[in-house]
Chains A and B, each alone.
Chain A
Amino acid sequence: MSQVFHRSMNTLARASLAIGLLGAGGGVGLVMAVSRSPYATRQGVAREQPVPFSHQHHVGGMGIDCRYCHTAVETSAVAGIPPTKTCMNCHSQIWADSPALEPVRASFRTGNSLQWVRVYDLPEFVYFDHSAHVNKGVGCSTCHGRVDLMPLLSQETSLLMEWCLECHRAPERFLRPKGEVYNAAYQPPANQLELGKQLVKLYDAKPRTSCSTCHR
């Protein structure tokens, strides 16, 4: 007799066919998901730093302005990480002998720079300019989040290209009055869209989506 397979094989065969077809689609979806996941983007992952510097304390607590430390933000592509000197301006008196701040003092004594871990790390082929953004009413917290609530700084946003494009294509959804740019706690008003439209006109904010805007 020429029967080769058992009854059950019929279901099995059909099932495996279906699974194969679905699996192919699912695989692609999975890759898409992973490449957007915090694993790949490091979004929301707090970083260990040589000194446990707390933005929450300094910005939220003391209410120090962003520009006190990030001096270049209005004039340069990079916001600038403060030299040890800036820390010592206060910490030569306050917490002058706290063990946590020893690395800072050491740096000041020896003249060896502190080595911070870069949190917002764009690829080498991406050229972002802070001045161009803050001068057009893009708030710090729009990209950096509520740093005034972050004990340890973490990357607020994905920094994926599609994320950049969200704003470059519709700035009115994110712009705020220049006065509010450095207000970490700023909450967009209910009428953000119409406000945004006005600001776009007012500041002549024309974000571009040409490749050479960021890649050169």
Chain B
Amino acid sequence: MSQESFVDLSMVRRRLAGSGGRRYWKSLEELAATPGFQNFLEREFPEQASEWSDPSGRREFLRIMGASLALAGLTACTRQPEEKIVPYVKSPEQVVPGRPLFFATSVLDQGFAKGVLVESHLGRPTKIEGNPEHPASLGATDAFGQATILGLYDPDRSKTITNRGEIRTWGAFLTALQPALAAQKALGGAGFRILTETVTSPTLAAQLDALLAQYPAAKWHQYQPVSADNARAGAELAFGEALAAQYRLAEADVILSLEADFLGSGPANVRLIREFSGRRRIEGEHARLNRLYVVEGSPSITGAAADHRLPLRSSEIEGVARAVAAGLGLPVEGADRAHAAWVGPLVKDLRKHGGRSLVLAGESQPAEVHALAHAMNGELGNLGKTVVFTAPVEARPLNQLASLRDLVADMAGGEVALLLVLGGNPVYNAPADLALAAALDQVPLRIHLGLYQDETAERCHWHLAEAHGLESWSDARAFDGSVSIVQPLIAPLYGGKSAHEVLAAFLGFGDRAGYQVVREHWKGLFGADDFEGRWQRAVHDGVVAGSALPEKPVTLASGDWVRPARQARNPGLEIAFRADPTIGDGRFANNGWLQELPKPLTKLTWENAALLSPRLAARLGIAVSSTASGATTDLVELRYAGNALKVPAWIVPGHPEDSVTLHLGYGRRKAGRVGSGLGVNAYALRRSDGLWFGAGLEIRKTGERAILACTQDHWTIEHETQTTKRHLVRSADLAEFERNPHFAREMSEEPPADLSMYPAHTYRGHAWGMTIDLSACVGCNACVVACQSENNIPVVGKDQVARGREMQWIRIDRYYQGGLDNPETHHQPVLCMHCENAPCEVVCPVAATVHSDEGLNDMVYNRCVGTRYCSNNCPYKVRRFNFFLYQDWDTPSLKLMRNPDVTVRSRGVMEKCTYCVQRINQARIDAKNQDRPLRDGEIETACQSVCPARAIVFGDVNDPKSRVTGQKSSPRNYGLLADLNTRPRTSYLASVRNPNPDMPREAGPGAARASLELGSGPDV
């Protein structure tokens, strides 16, 4: 870091000194400037990290041995190895050893900012929390946000600058670059192309503009496999200009989603979940529940949350949209009358809620459908109420697919002499028919900046290791345009460069720190007077005040959307492409947490599969069965547009019958040690003329079998009948609920506290408890990853998951109800219930799991001998066992990542949810040190604080005024398996759905209630 930045930062700090605040802005430069720490870092990372990759069996064996010895060390009577203390030479301000600091920054999702607070221990970022002051976060994050921390410490990240595989220095790169740039200067940049992903960063945009100014003839292309092309085109169709829509779900009573997975993905999904769930929650006995209609071509969590769901092939949805529009009185053609029974009541419902309804279209639908949605909203008077419009958020909105096409054409035509790829992995994720790779090879000089030595890096002359988002300075816009300053939490572990620094080099600034680039840009924006103050605030808050884009009034231009673009009905099978729900478009492929995160609906991990409907499966004779080594299924061959792919088939109840869904993001060749060679590459089938779906799919059973790692015993009729008999998830329609608010409690009787041959224990002082509102939970998975990050939970790999040895402390059970074709889907997060009559404790021979005086079910790792008796006797099966040495005791970077407040468990011990006891203890100690009682809400468990739906409430059930006590007094409150008299401290609030009374039963979800006989489906 350069001296000058160091200077004015310390100045900054002096300014800051007065202002307190919960989170402090701290200059990483200073910490890193301490050579001691620098050496420390160097000692710790590059060399040893590379050493780790040595896969020789010997080290493995030693590792295991070492671990066994380490374990022996856990027994009380052996000596410990001598430890060293390495204090600072000059300790940075604000740093109190043993206490974390929180810094505001943002993580990027498809180029859009989601605000976060990062917990940092002595300069090591360890945990990500949401930033309550950020519009896209509101204090929560999604699973991707949580997993960013693992991405930062990923030992497989690219660590060097390479030229044709040879390691080079930054200086060498700069010198090598000069002639090429000089040549382009002469041509005005005619042969110069820059390819980025979606860019919202004002600074980066400014740099690019400056570059284009220097090279007028150069071109800036953008591409990422999941873009907003259709939405943008739709807006242009509807309003004649490119606009970005923002939805106000809180205001909407009736919502129609045309394949829009607004809860599952997108730059605003965290906020939208909050708003949506806010309208699903029932305080007391009355509620203004919203009602959600979903038409979709592939099951999503949004569809799972729907009150009425219509599974259709993606190509048929436009027809339904037109039918709805026609019903609303819009002059449209090509309406599909086939679903009149469903559309009729829907239209009535929408009409009834004019101005308080909302129609959304998904990116996977063509522009016309988006336009129709806008038109319908116009017709319903929703414009400006439940949906508002702003100028596009992207720095330079364009049709990315077209942009990529042009680039490929130019490259193939040999017009490109110098290509700079700033992030992204087009070689892997471009549509197959563009043949990008071949064209790329025509370019004489190809430069790639990326986090990994990936497929694209492999085909570029120069690869520059990119600095991670948590390592570099930048800025970015959120879905509503508000800008966040992105600040680094740690010096680049592997000495990477940020896009700003690379562009600075191209602009001729040599090696200019990203910090300066960003600051300079904002100096320009904030103006000189009180720049420091405003900059301070911006960095401190994590968002630039008042930077959100202003709403724009809109007028509908009756346009081309009236007539259907293509004829809707196409016979035969259809293929649908979707971003993977846990690893996105493939950018998270090397992230173990996300790989092992069960997909919300299929509960598959570590790979993708051809998702198909029970009926189609029956037709093809697909047999899925669970075995001790995993779920076995048939390997099918998909033939589509001349390409073929062998994929394991997986049966998904509620999938449209004549279509097959394939998730993008797998089949990576060069993702890293975690992500390479998993699943199949859907991009190999994806075509530019149908990014999201296409007709003419042929499917064939190969006769081979495949093993998948599914965390939940695959769906069977047995499941459904047993689930309903056992009243595990309890749910009712709003009407039923109003008739009998206590329906949930009456489903099974909870034994009274005194029903025991022993006197009941009384808890003086605190008694911790939790409630989970099943009405609010949408199954987004954020809590699972948050828990994994907070509690140092290891990743175990596909084989172990397949054997049922996954380690996540909180899991989300998925239950179907109502048959195979279009079932109701329920999510139930299950973690340790902290039973007052804990069955696990009684059977532990060494008292390694016992009750604390506050009613926590403590698990004492260092006392555990690993009999697994507790797990056998746990009716909830929430206990997790270290069958092997799952924790990575070697990789230095992963050691830095761990939460220092939680023991790192080793081989042979049981573990489970602790209600984040480390947070409880810290809060208790702080309160005691300040001689004050604990405040309600002062303690938030990791799962609670991350939950976008605010479905989880934790607190003191002995405190009559606490929120959790309030929740538990709700009539919907019930204990899972409480009839066993385990007296769980964690309880659930039954879910209440709000179906349209006029909707014919057999048309909604749970339609096929009667079709249970069709059980021959997946259960084979």
Contacts and interface: CB of A to CB of B under 8 A. Distances in A.
A174 interface: no
Interface in B849-869: 850-854, 856, 858, 860-863
Contact of B87 (A76, A84, A121): A84
A125 B862 contact: yes
A112 B42 CA distance: 13
Interface in B912-941: 914, 917-918, 921, 925, 928-929, 931
Interface residues of B, number: 49
A72 B97 contact: yes
Contacts of B35: 110-112
A115 B85 CA distance: 6
Contacts, number: 147
A77 interface: yes
Interface in B49-97: 73-74, 76-80, 82-91, 96-97
B97 A216 contact: no
Interface stretch (B169-177, B364-372, B901-909): B901-909
Nearest to A121: B83
A212 B928 contact: no
A135 interface: yes
Given A40-B77, A72-B96, A121-B83, A215 B861 contact: yes
B928 A132 contact: yes
A12 interface: no
Contacts of A132: 925, 928-929
A111 B36 contact: yes
Interface in A111-170: 111-118, 121, 123-125, 127, 129, 131-132, 135-136, 160-161
Nearest to B856: A212
B850 A83 contact: no
A78 interface: yes
Contact of A108 (B89, B901, B903): B89
B928 A136 contact: yes
Interface in A170-216: 204, 208, 210-213, 215-216
Contacts of A74: 929
A34 interface: yes
Contacts of B903: 124-125, 215-216
Nearest to B916: A216
A131 to B, nearest CB: 5
Interface string A73-93: 011111011111100000000
A113 to B, nearest CB: 4
A107 interface: yes
Interface residues of A, number: 50
Given A116-B84, A211-B852, A216-B903, A34 B77 contact: yes
A35 interface: yes
Contacts of A115: 84-86
Contacts of A39: 79
Contact of B76 (A35, A108, A216): A35
Contact of B91 (A77, A85, A125, A212): A85
A161 B84 CA distance: 23
A118 B89 contact: no
A131 B929 contact: yes
Nearest to A161: B76
A83 B88 contact: yes
B752 interface: no
A35 to B, nearest CB: 3
A117 B861 contact: no
Nearest to B87: A81
B902 A118 contact: no
A42 interface: yes
A137 B858 CA distance: 28
A117 B861 CA distance: 27
B950 to A, nearest CB: 26
B99 interface: yes
A117 B858 contact: no
B21 interface: no
A112 B861 contact: no
Contacts of A76: 96-99
Interface in A29-86: 31, 34-35, 39-40, 42, 71-72, 74-78, 80-85
A214 to B, nearest CB: 9
A108 B89 CA distance: 6
A35 B77 contact: yes
Contact of A111 (B76, B89, B853, B858): B89
B724 interface: no
B39 interface: yes
Contacts of A42: 79
B911 to A, nearest CB: 11
Given A84-B89, A123-B74, A215-B861, A208 B853 contact: yes
Given A124-B903, A131-B925, A118 B36 contact: no
B625 interface: no
Given A210-B853, A212-B852, A160 B76 contact: yes
A113 B84 CA distance: 11
Looking at A71, A112, A118, A160, the one whose CB has the most chain B CB atoms below 10 A away is A112
Contact of A75 (B85, B99, B921): B99
Contact of A85 (B90, B99, B851, B853): B90
A76 B925 CA distance: 10
Interface of B: 34-36, 39-40, 73-74, 76-80, 82-91, 96-99, 850-854, 856, 858, 860-863, 901-904, 914, 917-918, 921, 925, 928-929, 931
12 contacts: A40-B78, A72-B99, A77-B99, A108-B89, A112-B39, A118-B84, A123-B862, A132-B925, A210-B851, A210-B854, A211-B852, A216-B914
The 4 closest A-B pairs by CB, nearest first: A35-B77, A111-B35, A210-B852, A76-B98
Given A40-B78, A71-B96, A212-B914, 16 more contacts: A31-B77, A40-B79, A76-B98, A77-B99, A78-B97, A111-B35, A113-B36, A113-B86, A113-B88, A117-B84, A123-B80, A210-B854, A210-B858, A212-B858, A216-B901, A216-B917
